[in-house]
């Protein structure tokens, strides 16, 4: 009868040696063209396919982490090409776009206002953004001039 410690039978050395022998046989089987473990046989081409797949997955993860554009860069790249000028004729909430505040400028241009900027614009104000600029100029009815900067906006984006 085997000794138990706290009701658990300890692992004996012969069992560990048997596991090491199985591992050695598995490694030896790879050198002969097949991996055999628990009645599972995989050819060398199967092993190569798995290794190539793992390399692709690792490359994709590294690409996403180090070389792809961040959310901030994507937003800044998109807005730099926008250009609009006009007085705010109407303001409404677009329920089909997550209840985003939208303004219609005098030229008919519809511009979505980020939530952080909603308190900065009012009916009658004028908005101006030139191409390749990352700032929207707000000319208030009172004569005051404000600048809404996309670079400041994207700093507040949540990190994944």
Strand 34-37 to 40-43 pairing: antiparallel
Strand 135-139 to 145-149 pairing: antiparallel
For residues 32 and 43, the answer to whether their CB atoms sit within 8 Å is no
Q: Give counts: helices (H), strands (E), the chain.
A: 4, 8
pLDDT band with cut points at 50, 70 and 90 for residue 138: very high
pLDDT band with cut points at 50, 70 and 90 for residue 28: very low
* pLDDT greater than 60 at residue 5: no
- Identify the pLDDT of residue 101: 97
How many residues comprise the chain? 160
For residues 76 and 90, give the distance between their C-alpha atoms in angstroms, rounded to a whole number.
Answer: 26
% of the chain with per-residue pLDDT over 70: 72
Distance from chain centroid for Cα 80 = 21
More confident residue, 18 or 101: 101
CB atoms within 10 A of CB 148: 19
Residue ranges of E strands in 45-158:
84-94, 100-105, 110-113, 126-129, 135-139, 145-149
pLDDT band with cut points at 50, 70 and 90 for residue 6: low
Q: Which residues have CB under 8 Å from 21's CB, separation 6+? A: none
Mean pLDDT of 88-108: 95
- Identify the pLDDT of residue 43: 80
- Identify the pLDDT of residue 8: 53
Distances (CA, A) of 10 to 17, 20, 23, 43, 64: 15, 17, 21, 37, 46
Environment class of 21 (CB within 10 Å of its CB; exposed 0-12, middle 13-18, buried 19+): exposed
């Amino acid at each position: 009868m085997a000794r138990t410690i706290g009701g658990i039978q300890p692992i004996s050395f012969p069992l560990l040696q048997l596991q090491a022998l199985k591992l050695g046989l598995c490694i030896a089987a790879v050198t002969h063209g097949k991996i055999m473990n628990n009645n599972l046989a995989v050819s060398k081409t199967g092993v190569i396919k798995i290794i190539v797949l793992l390399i692709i997955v690792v490359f994709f993860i590294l690409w996403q982490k180090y070389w792809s554009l961040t959310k901030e860069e994507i937003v800044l790249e998109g807005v730099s090409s926008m250009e609009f000028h006009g007085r705010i004729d109407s303001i409404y909430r677009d329920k089909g776009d997550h209840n985003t505040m939208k303004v219609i400028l005098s030229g008919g241009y519809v511009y979505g206002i980020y939530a952080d900027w909603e308190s900065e614009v009012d009916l009658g104000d004028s908005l101006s953004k030139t191409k390749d600029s990352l700032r929207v100029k707000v000319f208030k009815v009172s004569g005051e001039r404000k600048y809404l900067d996309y670079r400041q906006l994207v700093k507040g984006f949540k990190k994944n």
